Amino acid sequence: MTAIDDIALQAERARIRRTKIDRVLIVVCTFIGFLAVWEIAGRLSNPLFFAPVSDVVREFWLSLLDPRGRLLNGLVETLSVLVPGFVIASVLGVALGVLMGRSNLGFQILDPYVTIFYNTPRVALIPLLLLWIGVGDPLKIVIVILAAIFPVSVNTMVGIRDVSAQFTEPARSMNATESQLLRKVILPATFPYVVAGIKLGLGRALTTVIVAEFFVSVSGLGGILQATSSSYQMAKMFAPVIILAAMGVAIDGLLTYLERSVLRRYRS
């Protein structure tokens, strides 16, 4: 490498480093600005309707430090319906999607109902289910299942129907049985669709469980939101919001990571 090349290389490295620093600076500065505006607005406004960020952070920190506190219990309660409900919804959703994707009869029978449910706002069913199932965890689990199952099944079905002959033909040529074809070719080929369905379903499940808790829970995250806001405890009210935001971002990050690492292979 000549001296001139070397100088150019150093300059390019310096340029890339500067762009990186600039990017971090922009993010940090705007975030500090955002907190400052929040703090000032919080101090100037009526404490019944808004709280400065310092109070919110203090309340949040205190809630986190208290292992028997209301916030962590609320989180556990919400997760204890969200997780099982979502697992059931994913398994049933994939099964339903396979049935509709693989069997024309299954598709013809089920498609109208799935379309109706998929497009009905799930929260509209809460009062009805409340009447049928009553207040309690089973209600919330049913709501989560109803929220998440249809995006998963519709995506699975579309994925299965879209599996290219370029995947099925080689397997058939190598004498695959119908069961091998489904397990080793069609389901793996549908995986990206299932992940997309799960992403959509999780978002819906999270929303729906919080709304359900407005109605029936005093101790879940939705219940805490409802209770603190109706008693004008603004600083406390933000704690579940922060947790929910963090959960949403974490779920999205996890699924994005999955997409980048595994699903990368599917694009060629």
Partner 1 sequence: MTVPTVDAATPPKLAVENIQKTFFKSVKDDVVGIPVLNGVSLSVSQGEFVSVIGPSGCGKSTLLRIIDGLIQPEGGRVLVDGRIVSGPGSDRAVVFQYFGLYPWRSVLRNVEFGLELKGVPAKERQEIALENIAQVGLRGFENHYPHELSGGMRQRVGFARALSLDPQIILMDEPFSSVDEQTRELLQEQLLELWSATRKTILFITHSIDEAVYMANRVVVMGARPGRIVEEITVDLPHPRTSEVRALPRFGEIRAHAWEILKKGIRESAELNAAA
| Residue nearer to partner 1 on the CB measure, 105 or 174 | 174
**Shortest distance, position 163 Cβ to partner 1, whole Å:** 11
d(CA 153, CA 99): 9
Sequence-ordered list of residues with C-beta below 8 angstroms from that of 144, at least 6 positions apart, any chain: 81, 82, 85, 86, 89, 205, 208, 209
180 binds partner 1 (CB under 8 A): yes
| Residue nearer to partner 1 on the CB measure, 64 or 176 | 176
Stretch (H or E) spanning 19:
helix 3-44
| Residue nearer to partner 1 on the CB measure, 68 or 265 | 265
Residues 138-167 that bind partner 1 (CB under 8 A): 166-167
173 binds partner 1 (CB under 8 A): yes
Query: In this structure, how many other beta carbons lie within 10 angstroms of the beta carbon of residue 197?
Result: 27
| Residue nearer to partner 1 on the CB measure, 115 or 180 | 180
18 binds partner 1 (CB under 8 A): no
Contact by Cβ (8 Å): 209, 74 = no
Local structure of residue 268 (DSSP, 8 states): -
Find where tokens 């004008």 sit: 232
**Shortest distance, position 149 Cβ to partner 1, whole Å:** 25
- Tell me the number of residues near partner 1 by CB under 8 A: 23
Nearest alpha carbon to residue 148 among 217, 63, 81, 247: 81
| Residue nearer to partner 1 on the CB measure, 103 or 180 | 180
Residues lying near partner 1 in the complex (CB under 8 A) are found at 166-167, 169-177, 180, 184-185, 188-189, 191, 262, 264-268
